[in-house]
């Protein structure tokens, strides 16, 4: 529960806790978004821009009833994962960013848990993945998504990955 009473569900996987983003996560966001690793999602960015992303992750829950979770491996925030639907976009998007702990399967583990939470509520769920982001393409494929080969209208460097609706 946040200070305003907004409820963001918390749940655990084998190795992670998916929880509400909080102020204490800001240094992890800032470090990741300042690094070259963030270039495929619009970075590097300064601390103010990273703060805006953190607050957007929280605010989406208030505005849409869904959003992003911070990923905690017991040592602190190692990334984020969740759903968003920016104004003007046709489909809810599943996304993930690992700030640290890459190569451990955390993105797949967190995204699978997020999909379980969503329980098929969005039949046209997508992920927009940069053409150069092979690691995220592999995560999406493990989750059952297929590369449509089409770019989203807002980013020609990405392709739209589509998820099969549950029967």
pLDDT per residue as tens digits for the range 17-61: 999 999 999 999 999 999 999 999 999 999 999 999 999 999 999
Q: Quick one: which of 5, 46, 10 has its CA closest to 26?
A: 46
Instruction: Give a yes or no: residue 6 inside a domain.
Output: no
Q: Which residues form the domain of 45?
A: 11-163
Q: How confident is the model at residue 2 (pLDDT cuts 50, 70, 90)?
A: very low
Does residue 84 sit within a domain?
Answer: yes
Residue whose structure tokens are 């599943």? 94
Question: What pLDDT does 55 receive?
Answer: 98
Task: Give the model's confidence band at 4: pLDDT under 50 very low, under 70 low, under 90 confident, else very high.
Answer: low
Which residue is listed with tokens 């451990």? Answer: 104
Kind plus residue range of the DSSP H or E element containing 63: helix 47-64
Lowest mean pLDDT among 25-34, 42-51, 76-85, 148-157: 148-157
Report if residue 102 sits inside a domain.
yes
- The reply to whether 103 falls in a domain is yes
pLDDT in tens, 119-134: 999 999 999 999 999 9
The verdict on residue 118 lying in a domain is yes
81: in domain? yes
Tell me: pLDDT of 167 over 80: no
Instruction: Report how many domains make up the chain.
Output: 1
Q: Tell me if 2 is assigned to some domain.
A: no
Residue 3 has pLDDT above 70, yes or no: no
Judge whether 3 lies within some domain: no
Residue among 91, 107, 88 at smallest CA distance from 99:
107
CATH number at residue 92: 3.40.630.30
């Amino acid at each position: 529960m946040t200070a305003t009473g907004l409820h963001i569900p918390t749940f655990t996987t084998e190795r992670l806790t998916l929880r509400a983003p909080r102020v204490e996560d800001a240094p992890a966001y800032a470090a990741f978004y300042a690094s070259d690793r963030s270039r495929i999602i619009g970075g590097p960015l300064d601390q103010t821009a990273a703060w805006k992303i953190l607050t957007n992750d929280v605010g989406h829950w208030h505005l849409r009833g869904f959003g992003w979770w911070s990923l905690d491996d017991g040592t602190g925030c190692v990334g984020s994962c969740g759903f968003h639907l920016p104004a003007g976009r046709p489909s809810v998007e599943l996304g993930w960013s690992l700030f640290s702990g890459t190569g451990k399967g955390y993105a797949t583990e967190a995204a699978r848990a997020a999909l379980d939470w969503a329980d098929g509520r969005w039949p046209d769920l997508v992920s927009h993945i940069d053409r150069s982001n092979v690691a995220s393409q592999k995560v999406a494929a493990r989750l059952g998504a297929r590369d449509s080969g089409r770019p989203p209208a807002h980013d020609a460097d990405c392709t739209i990955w589509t998820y099969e609706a549950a029967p």
